Amino acid sequence: MSADKVDPANDKKLVHVTGEAKTDALVVDNDFGVSSPALRLVRTEVIYQWVEDKKSETKQKVGGGEETTTTYTYDKKWVDEPVNSSEFKKPDGHKNEGELLATGNADFNAEKVTLGAFDVPEKFVKEMGSPIARSVTDADLATLPADLKEGTQIKDGAFYFGANP
C-alpha cells in the first residue's frame, strides 16, 4: 500500500507501508544544549575504569583430584557504569575514581515524525534503526550549560569531563 495517502477504509486495520520517515523538527538534549535534525538523539555516558578479568583453569592432578588455578588481569576500559575496585582480588594499583554525571543516558525523539501521509507514533520512532554517532563540535561546547562547561574538552568527537583525556 502506498504511504502517500491515508485510506479511511483501512481505519483500525493493520497496514504495511514503506517509505522514509521524516521530521521538520530538531531533536534537543536540553541538559547539554545539543540539537540535531534527526528522528532520535541518544546520549550515552561512559567512564574510564579499571576492570578485573578472572580466568580459572582446572587440571587433573596425578594420583587423582583436581587443582584450580585462577588468574586475575586488570585493564582500563570505557564502561557504562562505575566499577567498584575495592572488590578486586588485587585492588592495589587499580583504584577507580570518579562517577558518571547525574544526567545519565537518555533518548530524545522528534515530536512529529511522518512516513508519507502517516504520523508515526513515538513508540515506533524509538525502535527505528540503530543510532548513528554524531560528533560534538566546538559550537556544541559553546552551548553547554555553565555548570558543565568548565574543564570540559572535546576528545574523539565526544565531550570529555576530566583532567586527562
- CA angle 118/120/121 to nearest 5° reads 135
Q: Let me know if residue 165 belongs to a domain.
A: no
Do both 56 and 135 map to the same domain? no
pLDDT tens digit sequence for 110-137: 989 999 999 999 889 988 878 788 888 8
**Which distant-in-sequence residues (6+ apart) come within 8 Å of 23 by Cβ?**
37, 38, 39, 110, 111, 112, 113, 114
Residues 40 and 108 placed together within one structural domain of the fold? yes
Q: Write out residues in the chain with pLDDT < 70, as ranges.
A: 164-165
Find the domain containing 119 and state its range.
8-44+103-159
In terms of domains, do 68 and 110 share one? no
Say how many domains are in the chain.
Answer: 2
Do 14 and 26 lie in one domain? The reply is yes
